[in-house]
Amino acid sequence: MKERGLLIVLSGPSGVGKGTVRKALFSQPDIQLQYSISVTTRKPREGEVDGVDYFFKTREQFEQMIRQNELLEWAEYVGNYYGTPIDYVEKTLQEGKDVFLEIEVQGAMQVRKVFPEALFIFLAPPSLSELRKRIEMRGTESEDLIRDRLQAAKEELEMMDAYDYVVENDQVELACERIKAIVMAEHCRRERVAQRYKKMLEVE
Ligand SMILES: Nc1nc2c(ncn2[C@@H]2O[C@H](COP(=O)(O)OP(=O)(O)O)[C@@H](O)[C@H]2O)c(=O)[nH]1
Ligand SMILES: Nc1ncnc2c1ncn2[C@@H]1O[C@H](COP(=O)(O)OP(=O)(O)O)[C@@H](O)[C@H]1O
């Protein structure tokens, strides 16, 4: 039977650079990850494509997915729903591939209940003022929404101790290298545990 893939969960406040770091990570030839596309009721930003960045749904459609147990986790964040379709995650892990979730903290805590063996990484900003600068620089949100997201950021930062690793996103390339090192180390650890277990069974 094929070994199950590793589930990797990346969280961090809005504007910290999750999307940017993830894209850098996915362009690296020496690490193969499968991105789980989330469902959201948020309106698409300019340039976002349905089925690539998110599956964009109405609130009714989203609530139906909740009722039909189609989501591994979901949360309401700054007035919109976000959730992870469970089928893709389950199927891909079973194929032995690593799955990468980029989700906020409430959802991450729900994932931990279902997949305690997943790897939880929190991407942290160098400072709150740098975080504000990055959200403003991106220019996708109004002043009101920036304020709400910064408020949510403060609550999210309080949750970082619940993660296995905290990675600072001071520079994109460095953050990307750190995450890569964590994933590779976790693979080695799992391999060692599996081998020890196998040996133990051989002896008995
Ligand atoms: N719980 C949960 N959060 C998600 C999911 N997809 C995205 N998010 C998070 O929702 C928050 C808002 O996402 P978005 O509106 O795209 O803003 P951005 O992170 O500032 O680009 C971010 O923290 C995302 O990581 C999901 O499927 N479930
Ligand atoms: N290490 C970094 N240094 C400076 N700017 C960054 C860094 N990482 C990301 N950014 C910029 O910050 C803004 C928010 O990044 P984004 O990836 O959209 O964040 P998130 O997905 O966490 O909301 C973007 O304009 C991005 O180019």
Quick: pLDDT tens for 161-189. 999 999 999 999 999 999 999 999 999 99
Comparison of pLDDT for 203 and 31, the residue scoring more: 31
Domain boundaries, the chain: 7-36+97-202
The pLDDT value recorded for residue 116 is 95
Residue 56 backbone phi and psi in degrees, to 5 = -90, 125
166 lines ligand 2 (CB under 6 A): no
Q: Which fold has domain 7-36+97-202?
A: Rossmann fold (3.40.50)
Using most ligand atoms within 8 A of CB, pick from 9, 35, 104 the residue to mutate for ligand 1: 104
**pLDDT higher for 80 or 145?**
80
Nearest to 120 by CA among 108, 133, 107: 108
Atom of ligand 1 nearest to the CA of 141: 20
For the cut 80, the answer to whether the pLDDT of residue 68 exceeds it is: yes
**pLDDT exceeds cutoff 80 at 204:** no
27 is in an annotated binding site: no
pTM: 0.95
Contact 127 CB / ligand 2 (< 6 Å)? no
Using the predicted structure, report yes or no on whether residue 199 has a pLDDT greater than 80: yes
Measured in Å, residue 99 CA sits from the centre of ligand 2 at: 22
Q: What is the average per-residue pLDDT within 154-161?
A: 94
- Does the pLDDT of residue 142 top 90, yes or no? no
Q: What is the ipTM of this complex?
A: 0.97
| 50 CB-side CA count, 13 A | 6
Residues contacting 100, CB < 8 A, separation 6+: 8, 10, 22, 25, 26, 33, 34, 35, 36
Cβ-proximal residues to 27 (8 Å cutoff; 6+ apart), any chain: none
Ligand (nearest to CA of 124): 2
Measured from the Cα of 15, ligand 1's closest atom is: 20
pLDDT for 112-121, tens place per residue?
999 999 999 9
The average pLDDT across 41-55 equals 96
Q: What's the mean pLDDT in 46-75? A: 97
What does the pLDDT look like over 122-139, one tens digit per residue?
999 999 999 999 999 888
How far does residue 18's CA lie from ligand 2's centre (Å)?
7
The confidence band for 1, taking pLDDT boundaries of 50, 70 and 90, is: low
Residues with CB under 6 A from ligand 1: 14-15, 18-19, 38, 42, 73, 75, 77, 82-84, 102-104, 107
* CB of 190 sitting under 6 A from ligand 2: no
**What integer best gives the mean pLDDT of the chain?**
94
